[in-house]
Amino acid sequence: MKRKKTIAFWISIGLFISLNVFSAPKYLRLSYTQDTSTSMTIVWNTDVDTDSVVLYGKAPNNYSNNSTGTSFKANGALNYIHEVTLTGLEPDTVYYYKAGSNSDGFSKENYFKTGPLQDANCAEFKFGYLGDNRPDPTFGGGENWPQILEQAAKSNPHFTINGGDLVIDGDKIDEWIKFLGWTEEVASKIPLMPTIGNHDDGPGSGDSANYNQIFALPRSTGNYGSNTEDYYYFTYGNAIFVSLSTQTFEDGSIPFETQAKWLDEVLTNNPRKWKFVYYHHPTYTKSVVFSISHPPNEKNQNAALVPIFDKHHIDIVFMSHNHWYERYEPSACANLGKPSSDSPCSVGANNFDKGTVFVVSGGAGAFTIPGMLCGSQTGRATCSGDHHYIIISIKNETLTYEAYSAYPQQNKVMDSFTITKPKDNCIIIEDAGVGDVLEDNGITEDAGVDVVSDIKHLDANYPQDATEDMLQYDVILDNSSFDTVYSDSMGADEYLSDTVAYDYIGKDIYSYSDTGLFDAGAEMDIRKNITDTNSHGEESGGCGCLFLD
């Protein structure tokens, strides 16, 4: 009897432990689905269906906020996938978080940093590019991805983009589970934004595919969008990133014409100083012997895509598929009348202002093509057979590009260049308090919730607005009639001109001109803090008005 009781006891303990382990959050990963400066999407898996909760705050182990999301039953052993999008966050701010549920427990503490304020011209950040990280047992070993990703993460990129072929066979869930396990330590802190490779699709397409279920990504919308995550875009600071799918959605009168029209629409509607596009199959690459590499323009995408690249002057196009590193001199085949060319059309090795740099980067884990097969190719700047990753640093008008050889090779810079564009007046003023800092010709940042950003670049066509400060209708205008009246969501009148802007935040009315700053204070009574050019400068008597000439 005692033996039976002992067995029953250990069975019950084992069942209790198993249920709790199986319910624990795992494979945490970050991505962007909304504004990169004020939101973050957190995704994880559990083996049973539980609540989807994220606890978060701006100090370790101090979770002053919580947010809930959704879950769904994914394919097979992926079990339940949870998605929570945190919104209303402060730009350029570190947050600490735990994901899980009150009933089944939470993950260990992780952290992330929101992006800088959205601005067409001014920002400072860093990102990484990696591609073809899948293992490759056919050629022996190949499980180099965790080490290479860790090396890339030491450069402290704000996020990474990935050129696809994350797994060998997208139909096989066990391969995705391995990938998620290898990636979690970094992806739980640094957002990962992939593109789909030829090994990643299936089973089915769209929301039924493992790739689309595993990642939370923006959906392509608009006249030419697919309403799937197969191709999408996001903006970050002064840059735009567009992920295209050369594996799916080839429709159009020529291959990929619909995606090209969507790309044109997206770039037109989202002006940014820096423009990046990434997809899997190379536009340009060198074919080598024994069919161990893929040919250029393999999906006949060039005729549709290259004219859009040239029209909008894409700075860098990142591709993968071939397992080595190639960088091409700036190219502009459409501008030179050869949009469907399989070979690059160099406009000069350093003429970055006249063409697009095309990069093939397929060395983040899979076997690589030996460098001795690189040979030579007109218009190609460099080639390497090393495993590698790429780190791009943006500082306003300057881009610094560095490609690093990686595990199992020596970790060092193997290729680099710098692009400098015309300089903008990018002055960043930070405010440690909760008041508004206003600057005539720079970016304005605020540690509180009230942010008025980049007055220099704001006009009627480009409103910039904080998220939670009731500035929905506050637009700084370069040209407006002096007595035009705007109302914000608080119901206060706003008087805007090309020299004076007023903004209603809480109970304060702020007035800014080139020569004066007024603060209404808690009583909404305008007082002159700095002498301005107005002849009146009268107190409003609490009406929230300012008398102007």
pLDDT digits (tens, 9 = 90+) for 108-135: 999 999 999 999 999 999 999 999 999 8
Within a domain: residue 118? no
pLDDT in tens, 40-66: 999 999 999 999 999 999 999 999 999
Pure H helices in 391-503: none
Query: How many separate domains does the chain show?
Result: 3
Residue whose C-alpha is closest to residue 214's, from 76, 84, 40, 78: 78
CATH number for position 70: 2.60.40.380
CA distance 109 to 101: 14
Within 13 A of 283's CA, how many CA atoms are on the CB side? 35
Least confident of 44-53, 150-159, 280-289, 300-309: 280-289
Inform me whether the pLDDT recorded for 318 exceeds 50: yes
Residue 141 is predicted with a pLDDT of: 52
Q: Of 420, 435, 457, which residue is a domain's last? A: 420
Average of per-residue pLDDT across 488-496: 35
pLDDT over 90 at 534, yes or no: no
By DSSP bridging, strand 274-278 and strand 316-319 are: parallel
Q: What is the mean pLDDT of residues 318-347?
A: 97
**Last residue of some domain: 78, 113, 148?**
113
Do 187 and 307 belong together in one domain?
Answer: yes
- How many CA atoms lie less than 13 Å away from 535 in the CB half-sphere? 1
Measured on CA atoms in the order 300, 304, 309, 310, is the torsion positive or negative?
positive
Residue 430 has pLDDT above 80, yes or no: no
Greater confidence (440 vs 308) lies with 308
* Residue-number span of the structural domain to which 96 is assigned: 2-113
Same domain, 152 and 53: no
Per-residue pLDDT averaged across 201-222, rounded?
Answer: 95
> In this structure, are 21 and 159 located in the same domain?
no
Q: Which pLDDT score is estimated for 426?
A: 87
Q: What pLDDT, in 10s, does the model give residues 87-96?
A: 999 999 999 9
Residue 436 lies in a domain: yes
Question: Same domain, yes or no, for 215 and 345?
Answer: yes
Q: Is 438 inside any structural domain?
A: yes
pTM confidence score: 0.77
pLDDT of 205 reads 87
Which of 7-21, 358-372, 398-412, 478-492 bottoms out in mean pLDDT, i.e. has the lowest? 478-492
pLDDT confidence bin for 425, thresholds 50/70/90? confident
Asked if residue 292 and residue 150 are part of one domain, the reply reads yes
What's residue 428's pLDDT? 54
Across the range 452-461, mean pLDDT stands at: 34
pLDDT at 56: 98
Q: Are residues 355 and 434 in the same domain?
A: no
**Domain boundary, last residue among 388, 420, 452:** 420
Identify the CA nearest to 453 among candidates 430, 479, 484, 419.
430
Whether residues 195 and 76 share a domain: the answer is no
At 419, list the tokens.
């692009």
Among 310-319, 382-391, 488-497, which is the least confidently predicted range?
A: 488-497
CB 282 within 8 A of CB 318: no
Average pLDDT, the chain: 80
